[in-house]
Amino acid sequence: MGHPLLIYGAGGSGREIAAWASRACWAEVAHDLIGFIDDRAAGDETVHGLPVWPLAVAAARHPGAGVIAAVGDSRLRAALIAAAEATGLISAAPLVHPGVEIDADYVRLGAGVVICPRTVITTDIEVGAHTQINVSCTVMHDTVIGAFATLSPGTCLSGTNRIDDHAFLGTGSVTVNGAPGRPLRIGAGAIIGAGAVVTADVAPGTTVAGVPARVISPGSTNNR
């Protein structure tokens, strides 16, 4: 039996993670998914056979349970985690799908990290707290990813990158051109469009898209 786990958010992402969360394990810490948190819930409904509670009810019933927030918007994710921790819930140990190919000896993961099926994480990689790496991503050697970043399905980080906090990489985006001593850098809160090929550093808060990626907005915060 693993540590009790709550997923904050019962939308598409939450239901996808719920499908395998109780099989996830990292550093010999396993999870036992007990329910969802949704602040709009009345407290008596279920989703995929699991109870959905408002935060206060979940925290009262399962004090000390672990929590991850399954929402794509990283600022909302951070706010939900802060609210959950204020009730005594704790950031869950990393959730790594059992089929993920990962060099466990040389990869460090922060609390609340989620790594979904069919992803490959090679070696000498750090991933910050509550970053979400979706299905079928590739993260190659010598890459540092900050906290609350988001890699959408099929993201491919070629070797040597620095991805800062709250960066959002759209579906099928690719980085190239990182080199030893000069990682390709995507700044804090930057947004990478779906299908983009990022060939040069992206400044914080900037939205880029296309092949090769070009700036389409110097300060957008829309990541959906």
Ligand X SMILES: CC(C)(COP(=O)(O)OP(=O)(O)OC[C@H]1O[C@@H](n2cnc3c(N)ncnc32)[C@H](O)[C@@H]1OP(=O)(O)O)[C@@H](O)C(=O)NCCC(=O)NCCS
- The footprint of ligand X (CB under 6 A) covers 72, 152-153, 170-171, 191, 193-195, 207, 209-210, 216-217, 220, 222
Q: Which of 89/145 has CB closer to ligand X?
A: 145
- The SS3 call for residue 15 is helix
Q: Which of 4/170 has CB closer to ligand X?
A: 170
As measured in angstroms, the least distance from the Cβ of 170 to ligand X is 3
As measured in angstroms, the least distance from the Cβ of 161 to ligand X is 18
As measured in angstroms, the least distance from the Cβ of 133 to ligand X is 12
- The SS3 call for residue 150 is strand
Q: What are the angstrom distances between the C-alpha of 145 and each of 4, 30, 110, 213?
A: 27, 23, 10, 20
Contacting residues for 221 by C-beta, under 8 A, at least 6 apart: 75, 189, 191, 205
Q: Which of 123/171 has CB closer to ligand X?
A: 171
As measured in angstroms, the least distance from the Cβ of 47 to ligand X is 19
Token reading at 62 = 């399962």
Question: Which class for 16: exposed (0-12), middle (13-18), buried (19 or more C-beta within 10 A)?
Answer: middle
As measured in angstroms, the least distance from the Cβ of 77 to ligand X is 13
Q: Which of 125/208 has CB closer to ligand X?
A: 208
Q: Which of 119/207 has CB closer to ligand X?
A: 207
Q: How far apart are CA 120 and CA 105, in angstroms?
A: 14
